[in-house]
Structure 1
């Protein structure tokens, strides 16, 4: 007999959800929001977004009818066409009618892709450091995340493939390290997918944040027939409108038709009025954000130099607005370090353990939301805390 009260029994969660962990970065940033609301000045190096200077959108000049109502569950046709034209420049041919879905952010797009291809017990290879929601999304689909330590080469991924392996996730460029995969690495992943019958889920949400000297190569350009590749991306990230929640995925039309069913039942459609605005101002917004993207990527390069100058190592990377910094000689684990940094120095970062067990000796530093001066103050606080918590 259950020892729970009737109320406790009624609200008892499923074991699937009860076992799921909170997204550590979001949990941490919620604390930052609360501290700021209470009047605390927090140097925020934890947010997963860049703050751009954007004009306040005007919707009264939009030509689309029905702005306040549902739109096509595949996504607004005009926006799908703009995205297809955009990806043609990256050698990714896309049929806007059958091979793309625009939905409410890239996060739900990844989940729907996993839900569409996984059977219970199927394994998904996830190289560390990973974006922290991948493993939990796999588990919520009743799959098994197989986490590959960060020091394992892409060319050794085959050692982790079993008869249960269904997919591999490639985050390019990587959040949190900013690493951009080479053509040879991407070609190897596609060869592995072909020989072992795998799906490649390519999360390319930060592709606009790749510096010019490190050309971005789309994963889909290696698989123009979309035999096994699902590309997921985010207008929210690249356009600096993360709160708008507009993302999309590109895949073979047969798989898109299956994912469409999930989108219809979970989301219905992406926000109509925002989709219309993005379609009509597609190039205008990029013209505004791209110079600001270049500045934040340059700031990332400068901060990487500052960290190196004071003896703080980072995992290799050149893109995004993140750096994944080592805790060096500190005796603290990443959660302890991030907690003390916030409590004692009013600086927020994300604990590295959120990105995989092999990453607990690191922290994620984001430079997209603060001025160079405040970022430098945050870096000084990190150096100070490493020093005072290091063994003599």
Structure 2
């Protein structure tokens, strides 16, 4: 161990990346791998958004911006939040960040004290754990279950609240399950937050990718909740802008004012050119966005019956572009299942254990491949499942 590593603080909590690295190494030596584990849309950023970035470069818009973001983008974000979700934020209640990941880190550093507990929808995007640990807090997973389509259960939240609970992180639609927590449960979560004086961080990065029969409710739009809610959203998923790194938080103006200097310290400002691209995303034509979301719906409509055909069960995904699949019927652990599937078929998925799930029954499948490629992946998976069934017999 180096002299530097020996001095690491307890903010650094080791994450076992060995399995992910192993899978990538296996895939690197194979041909015709179908990757279905990623969360990066397979679509290109719409042309008008990329054009706005080029125009910004040509106009020499490449210098520092205010740390909270360019005023026009903050205003457009506030207008979009009001139009889409009934959230009453003004431009001075928005901070544009380098992706939602930076927003998460900023919030935890600003609000979490040593020993504070943070309840987090689980299985989950593990960045939350890392950011809470940075701040000296304790992540407390709130489990969700297949029987509920992985939507939150109010009883599971309430029984984990202690005198040290400071915050609840609500992620709906959720990654990795695609679960949309119903409006009636969102209202009960709001009541709990008021009762126990909790801050709610509402991660709504997938809120525009909602499927028929499901409804998204922004908790910050409910009476009495704006003052205790921080709403997170961004451009990566809906607009196929993952590499542009533009996210944002919306919160009461006094909080925004208090954390502006901290945000400046983290990265000064979000990439200037990317901010102009994000402005075009909000103010430009939405037909390309609708086309992407419609295509996700088509893929989902193909996949769910195909999984039924294989005898696999799952939580019905109300949003996002993931299916969380139960493979316990194979008798294999999910890491073994994923490794064998990759080696034998070239289809790469990742186990739910990578998302903090202590139940080793699940894998995440992301339908971020064109439909013909998805059909080929399903064909390979079905042949694999048939072989597994014959071997078990």
**TM-score of the superposed pair, with normalisation by structure 1:** 0.89
**For residue 381 of structure 1, what is the aligned residue in structure 2?**
380
**For residue 351 of structure 2, what is the aligned residue in structure 1?**
351
Distance change in 2, residues 1:128/1:380 (3 Å) = farther
**For residue 197 of structure 2, what is the aligned residue in structure 1?**
197
**Structure 2 CA distance for aligned equivalents of residues 176 and 356 of structure 1:** 10
How many angstroms does 1:101 deviate by? 0.4
> Within 5 A, what are the aligned runs for 1:33-44?
35=28, 40-44=31-35
Matched, 1:244 2:236: no
**Structure 2 CA distance for aligned equivalents of residues 191 and 66 of structure 1:** 49
**For residue 90 of structure 2, what is the aligned residue in structure 1?**
95
Matched, 1:271 2:271: yes
Query: How many residues are treated as equivalent by the alignment?
Result: 381
**TM-score of the superposed pair, with normalisation by structure 2:** 0.89
How many angstroms does 1:15 deviate by? 4.1
- Deviation by residue 1:40-87 (Cα, 9 ceiling, x = unmatched): 321010110222243282345349965111111001111111111111
How many angstroms does 1:344 deviate by? 2.3
Cα-Cα RMSD = 2.5
> Within 5 A, what are the aligned runs for 1:324-339?
324-339=324-339
How many angstroms does 1:281 deviate by? 4.8
2:104 to 97, 103, 110: 110
Specify the SS of the correspondent of 1:160: coil
**Structure 2 CA distance for aligned equivalents of residues 121 and 162 of structure 1:** 12
Distance change in 2, residues 1:63/1:341 (3 Å) = closer
> Within 5 A, what are the aligned runs for 1:48-197?
48-53=39-44, 54-55=46-47, 57-58=50-51, 59-62=53-56, 66-89=60-83, 90-97=85-92, 99-151=93-145, 154-156=153-155, 157-197=157-197
Q: Is the 8 Å Cα contact of residues 235 and 241 (structure 1) preserved in structure 2?
A: yes
Larger mean CA deviation between 297-306 and 284-293 belongs to 284-293
Specify the SS of the correspondent of 1:125: strand
How many angstroms does 1:273 deviate by? 1.0
Q: Is the 8 Å Cα contact of residues 190 and 225 (structure 2) preserved in structure 1?
A: no
Q: Is the 8 Å Cα contact of residues 30 and 346 (structure 2) preserved in structure 1?
A: no
**Structure 1 CA distance for aligned equivalents of residues 179 and 22 of structure 2:** 24
Distance change in 2, residues 1:16/1:335 (3 Å) = farther
Larger mean CA deviation between 48-57 and 286-295 belongs to 48-57
Q: Is the 8 Å Cα contact of residues 12 and 133 (structure 2) preserved in structure 1?
A: no
Q: Structure 2 regions of 5+ residues with no counterpart? A: none
Q: Is the 8 Å Cα contact of residues 80 and 282 (structure 2) preserved in structure 1?
A: no
**For residue 313 of structure 1, what is the aligned residue in structure 2?**
313
How many angstroms does 1:211 deviate by? 2.1
**Structure 2 CA distance for aligned equivalents of residues 52 and 245 of structure 1:** 16
Distance change in 2, residues 1:140/1:18 (3 Å) = closer
How many angstroms does 1:269 deviate by? 0.6
